[in-house]
Amino acid sequence: NIEMLDLLTMDIDLSDFAKAKGIDSTRLYTREEAKKLMGVSEKTIWRYLKEGKLKHVRPPTRQGIQILGKWILEAYRLQKDGA
């Protein structure tokens, strides 16, 4: 099945990206760290956050936002697919 092969290839690409960038899918990252890991501009990160392409949380005890590594990988997939 071609669709299944595409999905498997996409997962391998994400795995390679995660390994190459050292992204831990269970770790929380800052917005600045996410920007550097994804290789995008400040403007793009804010747009992804605003559009919901990059999920995030705003912990009550900390300033700024936190982004789970898994969400960075999901946003990278969208970025790669041109969404």
For residue 71, what are the contacts with CB-CB under 8 A and spacing of at least 6?
54, 55, 56
pTM of model > 0.75: no
- Distance from CA of residue 63 to its chain's centroid? 20
- Cα–Cα distance measured from residue 15 to residue 74, given in angstroms and rounded to the nearest whole number: 11
Residue 67: beta bridge partners?
Answer: 29
pLDDT tens per residue across span 46-80: 999 999 999 999 888 777 889 999 999 888 888 77
Q: How far is CA 42 from CA 4, 47, 57, in A?
A: 35, 9, 18
Is residue 9 predicted with pLDDT exceeding 80? no
